Chain A
Amino acid sequence: MTQLISLLTSAVVFGTVILYGAVGEIITEKSGNLNLGVPGIMFLGGIAGLAAAFFYELHAAEPVGAIGLALSFLAAIAASALGGLIYAFLTITLRANQNVTGLTLTIFGAGLANLFGGSLNALAGGVGQISVAVTSRAYRAYIPALAGMGRVGQLLFSFGFMAYLAIAIALLASWFLNRSRVGLNLRAVGEDPATADAAGISVTRYKYLATCAGAAVSGLGGLYYVMDYIKGTWSTDGTIEALGWLAVALVIFATWRPARAIWSAYLFGVLYWAYNYIAGLSRATIELFKMLPYVVTILVLVAVSMRRSKEAQPPKSLGLSYFREER
């Protein structure tokens, strides 16, 4: 039982990172933009948050966790939205190819983040690994009274606030895409931009806003990873990149529905960590186990395309640029 609780807890933490990435990407993809820059954007969000907290803690005489939290949160959103803006400008205004632009954004974001993550401390004249303990503690704070209520308390209340924020954003995105006028307009843009354009919807504006807003949400995944998952440090091992691609996989697995992404994200977490709780696995077998999230994603992708059910398809114009003159 303890083992199960600990598996589920680590699955939630893992799932939260990719849930942010996936919900942001769903919003982006609903506008018809397939942004393969998600890993890069998560890198940007993570490093911006870390850098903001780092400089705040460096210069403040007595750093306050809440201020560090606010600063890093805003920095992460701004940096990742800016990443989205680069992508949007290139693909929407300059009509560059989406896949190539997205991949470039991933290379750029990963490079920038690892460059600064690895040398921020050295650049500021410090030694050793970067660490923002005060801010990270604020991110990981939970209410001890609630978390202390036995196993249920541990399972439901032992996480930092961003784990709950992720669920809230996913539910909000679900409402937005299915119930609000603006959200329905956005989906129209992603399905058939020419028709949306004819109906008086500004395709360019919708695509820009959705891409930047989606990037901002994706970037929070990087922030959560840095502040909570690895406790306010940096590591250049490329985990964020792997998680970013997993977020792209999650979009498919959740068939472009944010609400479904919530439990799917935790399921990915369980699949990813399951090997820890199965006795007698060799190290080699563990590597095969880590393949599971990708395999189930492929199965879902294939099943969806075979069934041809209308609701589960990718947005119709996904990956294509829109030129009014060429419709």
Chain B
Amino acid sequence: MTKHEPLIHIVKRDGMAWWRAWAIRLISAVMALLVCALFIYGLTKLNPIKVYGAMWEGAFGSPRRAWITARDTAILLCIGVGLAPAFMMRFWNVGAEGQVLMGGCATAAVLIYGGSALPTWALLCASALASLVAGALWGFVPALFKARWNTNETLFTLMMNYIAIQITCFLVATWENPKGSNSVGIINQKTQAGWFPAVFGQQYLMNVILVLALTVAMFLYLKYTKQGYEISVVGESENTARYAGISVKRVIIRTMALSGAICGLSGFVAVAGSSHTISTSTAGGRGFTAIIVAWMAKFNTFVMVLIALLLVFLEKGAVQIASQFHLNDYASDVVTGIILFFLLGSEFFIQYSLRFRSHTHAKEAEA
């Protein structure tokens, strides 16, 4: 028996104290930063500590930079919050990118066509509603097919992204201003109609408040409501859900519509509250990054705040390094990628423990 025993035996842990789990994550993040430091050193021959200092400078160096970091974190977080219910249901909504864009397009449409007719508060309400509906529609379609015919949702939602991207390109070409620029320009630049108003003199404070409110609401929804409970039951086992009398189809469709709607609302925040224009970079890959945020936070929306902040910090920091040391901005994606690889890998050590051969021998001897 002992002859064929493998050197390492992998055992699933029963559970781990939260502080140990976070210690493991922290260690892996530190290791990732070391690897990144080596990478940066190899590329630039610069002192990595100075480089990290420059990153801090880039993300939080001035009040304005800090607010931009907060603004971008809010949008990424909002998408992550939108994805949480879908992921908790084990429904792979990879279509956030498209849902955000559809929400953004709906918002831009309201601002452009209603800009001179309606007061700002009405514009904001109308565009928020429009973005919710547009996003919900983009989530509803794949959910309907999943519920009815079990169509693979990962692939379906992925394809929906590109349809949304082309629709966005179409609308940009339709609305372009001035003609021939291939961009919509700043919408309602003179009147600022339909823009988020400044709160306490801060231009982006409303974005942050809105998204934090959503974060709390989603946490409560998933944890304490009947619908949230249904979502987690469907996610654990569809058969159990059916046995308990939950209509799985209804839960799938309802949850995905909700997930899409909140992703659509992120498009509203991005357009009306931040860029005041629409293009494919309104989403700009954040729909994909948010998937990682939502997954790594294990559907806990408060943990998402941390992860979203970390990722945006890396992005802003790397952009700063890039301009300071004459690299290009893509350095941030490399650093992000390395850190995510490490964090993804670290989950293994939280869920499983390794027993080496001699260790098990000792156990057997005891027994």
Binding site for B on A (CB under 8 A): 34, 36, 86, 90, 93-97, 99-101, 103-115, 118-119, 122-123, 236, 242, 245, 248-249, 252, 282-285, 287-288, 290-291, 294-295, 297-298, 301-302, 305-306, 314, 318-319, 323, 325-326
Contacts and interface: CB of A to CB of B under 8 A. Distances in A.
Contact of A115 (B163, B166, B174, B327): B327
B159 interface: yes
Contact of B344 (A94, A109, A123): A94
Nearest to B345: A94
A130 to B, nearest CB: 13
A257 to B, nearest CB: 16
A104 B333 contact: no
B338 interface: yes
Contacts of B248: none
B337 to A, nearest CB: 3
Most buried by A among B156, B330, B331: B330
Given A294-B159, A294-B166, 8 more contacts: A94-B347, A95-B352, A107-B340, A110-B333, A291-B166, A298-B163, A314-B152, A318-B152
Given A108-B341, A287-B166, A297-B159, A325 B12 contact: yes
Contacts of A36: 94, 154, 158
B140 interface: no
Contacts of B158: 36, 245, 248-249
Interface in B136-163: 145, 149-152, 154-156, 158-163
A299 B362 CA distance: 59
B337 A298 contact: no
Contacts of A291: 162-163, 166-167
A242 B162 CA distance: 9
B169 A99 contact: no
Given A248-B158, A305-B150, A118 B291 contact: no
- 5 closest A-B pairs (Cβ-Cβ)? A111-B333, A108-B337, A284-B173, A287-B169, A291-B166
B344 A105 contact: no
B301 interface: no
A94 B25 CA distance: 14
A100 B162 CA distance: 19
A319 B155 CA distance: 11
Contacts of B334: 108, 111-112, 115
Contacts, number: 159
Nearest to A123: B43
B304 to A, nearest CB: 14
A103 B288 contact: yes
B94 A96 contact: no
B328 A99 contact: no
B155 A119 contact: no
B30 to A, nearest CB: 18
B155 A252 contact: yes
Interface residues of B, number: 54
Interface in B156-202: 156, 158-163, 166-167, 169-170, 173-174, 182
B289 interface: yes
Contact of A111 (B167, B326, B332, B352): B332
5 contacts: A94-B348, A99-B291, A115-B333, A245-B162, A294-B166
B266 interface: no
Contacts of B292: 100, 103-104
B255 interface: no
B344 A101 contact: yes
Contacts of A101: 341, 344
Given A96-B348, A103-B292, A298-B160, A115 B330 contact: yes
A139 B156 CA distance: 36
Nearest to B94: A99
B284 to A, nearest CB: 10
Nearest to B160: A298
Contact of B331 (A104, A111, A314): A111
A36 to B, nearest CB: 7
A306 B151 CA distance: 8
B159 A104 contact: no
A113 B167 CA distance: 28
Contact of A104 (B151, B156, B344): B344
B340 to A, nearest CB: 4
A294 B98 CA distance: 13
A319 B158 CA distance: 14
A120 to B, nearest CB: 11
A302 B328 contact: no
Contacts of A106: 288
Contact of B341 (A104, A118, A122, A301): A104
A34 B159 CA distance: 15
Contacts of B154: 34, 36, 99, 319
Given A97-B344, A245-B162, A287-B166, A119 B327 contact: yes
Contacts of B166: 287-288, 290-291, 294
Contacts of A112: 330, 333-334, 337
B232 interface: no
A285 B174 CA distance: 9
B274 interface: no
Contacts of B169: 287, 290
A249 B170 contact: no
Given A111-B333, A288-B170, A97 B295 contact: yes
